[in-house]
Structure 1
Amino acid sequence: MKDISYIFILLALLAEIAGTIGGFGSSVFFVPIGNFFFDFQSVLGLTAIFHLSSNISKIVLFKKGLDKKLLLNIGLPSVLFVVIGGFLSKYVEGSVLEIVLGLFLVVFSTLFLIKKQIIVMPNKRNAITGGVLSGFSAGLLGTGGAIRGLTMAAFNLEKSAFIATSAFIDFVIDFARTFVYYGNGYIHKHDLLYLPFLIVIGWLGTLIGKKILSHIPQQKFKNISLLLILGIGLVTLVKTMADN
């Protein structure tokens, strides 16, 4: 076990807890953390596998809140575009896209935090648009949960509905992109040493996050999600610029 980084495992657990509290999954934290320990392609492969376990735990623990209509409107375009993004990830420079993603997250989360009177209509067009963007980003960059979180935050869902619906969408996205990443050669045998740890973390982090979430009032939930997204955007920008 000498090749295992226990610091990475601890940070992955914290990412899972934060992703559960935010409601949009751990990949928005896990991918930036993973980039400090692995090459970008390995991070994509690990993220997809890790999330399959992580999202199963969320579906089981929050399943009563599932919003089936939103699941279809966001989920179907997400699955289609995660496959497209996954294939394109072999040909597109990741650092440029990470900067674009970071800017998008910072601008839109700040806008929703400052301009609280802004209302995004919870209609089918907005849901489909969010599904397209989050799926494409997930395939290309390894994380699309924050974009989906921004979309779903506009619908003012109850906490359980938000998390259950987001997790179910994430699960089908991860299931689809795992095959694409495997075909791209992103899933490496030596990285699979972490798989047992990540499976345990997926369940443990979700349980801890659910306990914490039970003490957070509904009215504060949306702001916490947006603040976490803002932080993700800033970290993504700082890291990408530092690497270049």
Structure 2
Amino acid sequence: MQVLPILIAVLVASGVGTLTGFGTSTLLVPVMVLFYPVPETLLFVGIIHWFGNVWKLVLFREGFRWGLVLSFGVPGLVATAIGAKLVFDIPSVILSRVLGGMIAAYVLYLFVQSSFRVRPTVVTGAVGGALSGFFAGIFGIGGAVRSLFLTAFDLPKAVYIATAGAIALVIDTTRLSVYASEGVRLPSSLLWGLIVFIPGSFAGAKIAQRLVDRIPQKNFRKVVAVFLLLIAVKLIVWP
């Protein structure tokens, strides 16, 4: 097992994932598949992702809002299942590039209309959650799509990160249960490595917390938007 490169990847991915609310899997999966088969990679990344969302809730617990999590998350979970049933006849390359174009257009709009904001109410939360879940189901990329819709609310930093973490935690718990029921297991070396990698994920999240504290609230959405744009470019150029 290559402990050091995996630990570095976990540290960076956890930091970026905490700061932006998405991106942990995008950064970590390409590293892990260099060393392990896809099923073991997905299980490992799912575990790190799960803990990463726990750290978001622990470190930004002052931003947790039950109303927003439920109004956004519950419709999103239902709509994800609906969207996922519509994709089997559409090539994944086309889906990735369409999503990349959508994200890029949204980010450019945010920079042109920096005052754009949707008031976070129960109704707008439910609509945003349903739309984000539906598109996440279609495109298969939940974190970036969810963040795209959450940024429309222009939430306080802690609220944005805690909300993203809470919703993703439910999704991660579900998918880890599926992996386990399908018999996917980590090799013993990687299992023992979690003793190092889980604290490493917390260290990355803690570093991200300090960075978030230094980012003015008025600039936070722009920082997230820059990372969204990077994801958009990746989806368009390397779907």
2:16 paired with 1:10: no
Question: Using a 3 Å threshold, how does the CA distance of structure 1 residues 38 and 16 change in structure 2: closer, same or farther?
Answer: same
Residue in 2 that maps onto 1:227: 226
Residue in 2 that maps onto 1:210: 209
- 1:57-68 superposed matches below 5 A: 57-68=55-66
Identity of aligned residues (%): 31
Residue in 1 that maps onto 2:238: 239
Q: Helix, strand or coil: the match of 1:189?
A: coil
Aligned equivalents of 2:79, 2:43: Cα separation in 1? 17
TM-superposed CA distance for 1:213, in Å, is: 1.2
Residue-by-residue CA offset, 1:55-109 (whole Å, 9 max, x unaligned): 1111111111112211011111233345567788999754443333322222222
- 1:1-244 superposed matches below 5 A: 1=1, 4=2, 6-24=4-22, 26-31=24-29, 43-82=41-80, 94-135=92-133, 143-183=141-181, 187-190=184-187, 193=190, 196=194, 197-240=196-239
Asked which structure has the greater CA Rg, the reply is 2
Aligned AA (2:166): F
Gaps of 5+ in 2: none
Aligned AA (1:210): Q
TM-score by length of 1: 0.78
- Paired residues, what number? 237
Aligned equivalents of 1:147, 1:58: Cα separation in 2? 18
Higher deviation after alignment, 224-233 or 129-138: 129-138
* Aligned residues of 1:138 and 1:144 also touching (Cα < 8 A): yes
* Aligned residues of 2:73 and 2:167 also touching (Cα < 8 A): yes
Q: Helix, strand or coil: the match of 1:157?
A: coil
Q: Helix, strand or coil: the match of 2:153?
A: coil
TM-score by length of 2: 0.80
Higher deviation after alignment, 57-66 or 124-133: 124-133
Q: Helix, strand or coil: the match of 2:214?
A: coil
Question: Using a 3 Å threshold, how does the CA distance of structure 1 residues 151 and 18 change in structure 2: closer, same or farther?
Answer: same
* Aligned residues of 1:84 and 1:136 also touching (Cα < 8 A): yes
